[in-house]
Amino acid sequence: MPSFGGTTGTPITGVGTPLAQPYPPTLLSLQDFARVLGVAPLHFAGAVTPGLNPMVFPASGCSGIWHKYDWQNSDAVSLYQIAESIHTAEQEVANLIGYWPAPYWIEEEVHNYPRPFLRETFGLGYDVRGLNKSVQSGYGKLISAGVRAVSLVGTASVGVSLAYTDEDSDGFYETATIQLATALTNVSQIKVYFAQKDGVIEWEVRPVRSKAISGGVVTIILDSWLLIDPELYELPPTSDGEYVIDASTVANFVTSVDVYREYVDTSVASATFYWMPDHPGNNPIACPTCGTIGCTTCSYVTQDGCMSVRLHHEGEIVPYPAEYDAVEQAWQSRSWVNCIEPDIVKISYLSGDQSQEFLQGRSHEPLSFYWKQLIAWIVVARLDRPMCACGNLQTMHEWLSRDITMTGGGVSHFVTADAMNSPFGSRRGEVMAWRRLNKSGTEKRLSYALA
């Protein structure tokens, strides 16, 4: 590992590199993962402060500096591998319990439209009670129908609306403050992204320390090391030693960031209907509408629509054929374009759990600590490389990654039924996550308890 008092280690100082690549999208941010584990945040960001005397976050004692890719340090796990493992663990949890641990965007999820009981009949889109038919979404805890959209609030630049400050006068500029004018009132919709990335989810900067709107100005405060230039993480090691980032100078922080409003766009179709080309409704005699415009032979007939939520927790939605009226800014009901109900419907929506702290405005992260810790257990248990040289992390990794169904080497375990039945695996961290879900009474969307 780097040693700034020895012969190895070269601090990075703003060298031009290829375009940076984003991390896989995760609900649990990498910095929150480090916080759950108790990792020094600056070291986790791949940086130290060799230009300060005394150094802040010195590379001594626990001197592990984390890198983005495995090939930058083959003897330790990389941030990219951790992000991939977090993404996989979150997907497994969501598939198991039937909803995402935090809000998650779903687009163009495909479902067969509910068919009549009698196979020889065709429906008109109504159930036995005369109500519009409902469709079961893939995930429960629905928040809203619609698609993700972003609009630029503004670009914050150093010297104008972005400032790096040293709040405790130790020489380290640990705080970044953004201030931009805005007419928005919902601060939870305002998010920070690296500049010129068009508000893509993977480029969001999180977590933030605080966000507030006052007098038409939004003020966002966050840790400065979250704004280390992403290009610096792409540099390969050289014969001079292992590259680490020098955070003792703001020259290695970005000079601008974009602030976007992220929201659900309800003006775009949240449901799209599809009819097979061999549908009887394509017969010009049975369906004058299709007979007028002509029916394609090898293509689906499609129609836009909107949808409402009938059962939020269970994920039951009702899609309607409709057309958006830009003047009224509302969806207007329409008849089926093919005279009978469709074969397939694609739906788009936002769903997932939200912590009470977030809903009450006491936190800016909808992912609760309950889920953060559970996901971290699974991730650490599955890491196939050491995390760093820190004794506490090595002990935690060894403890959580031990397969408790294995015996040998003078070690044996009393294996319980829940350990044998764990859907995540038999490593201790995976079993701990499974036990937490069981004991908390977490329910699936379909209203039966995990067992």
Strand partners, 246: 48
Full-model pTM: 0.87
Please give the DSSP secondary-structure letter assigned to residue 76.
Answer: S
Diameter over CA atoms, the chain: 87
Q: Give the tokens for residue 55.
A: 């150094």
Length of the chain (residues):
451
Q: What is the mean pLDDT of residues 183-203?
A: 96
Angle at 395 between CA 389 and CA 401, to 5 degrees: 110
Burial class for 26, CB neighbours closer than 10 Å (0-12, 13-18, 19+):
buried
Amino acid type, 441: G
pLDDT of residue 12: 47
Report the C-alpha gap between 139 and 350 in whole angstroms.
Answer: 9
57 to 46, 49, 124, 244: CA distances (angstroms): 11, 7, 67, 13
Q: For the segment 107-134, what is each residue's pLDDT rounded down to a tens digit?
A: 999 999 988 776 766 777 777 777 889 9
pLDDT of residue 111: 96
pLDDT of residue 447: 41
First to last CA, the chain: 45
Q: For the segment 368-405, what is each residue's pLDDT rounded down to a tens digit?
A: 999 999 999 999 999 988 887 677 888 899 999 998 88
pLDDT-derived band at 407, boundaries 50, 70, 90: low
Q: What is the mean pLDDT of residues 294-302?
A: 70
Q: For the segment 254-289, what is each residue's pLDDT rounded down to a tens digit?
A: 999 999 999 999 999 999 999 887 655 555 545 555
Q: What is the mean pLDDT of residues 398-414?
A: 76
> Where do the structural domains in the chain lie, given as residue ranges?
1-88+150-263, 101-138+269-351
Q: For the segment 1-43, what is each residue's pLDDT rounded down to a tens digit?
A: 343 333 334 444 444 445 789 999 999 999 999 999 999 999 9
Q: Give the tokens for residue 78.
A: 């990389």
Residue with tokens 């997932």: 352
Report the C-alpha gap between 451 and 430 in whole angstroms.
Answer: 16
**Contact status, residue 311 vs residue 300, Cβ threshold 8 Å:** no
- SS3 category, 381: helix
Q: How far is CA 336 from the centre of its chain?
A: 36
Angle at 131 between CA 139 and CA 143, to 5 degrees: 30
Residue with tokens 């949808």: 307
Q: Which residue has the higher pLDDT, 321 or 241?
A: 321
Burial per residue of 124-136, b for 16 or more beta-carbon CB atoms within 10 angstroms, e otherwise: ebeeeeeebbbbe
Q: Give the tokens for residue 200.
A: 């893509």
Strand partners, 304: 272
Q: What sign does the CA torsion over 50, 55, 56, 59 have?
A: positive
Q: Give the tokens for residue 345.
A: 């419907």
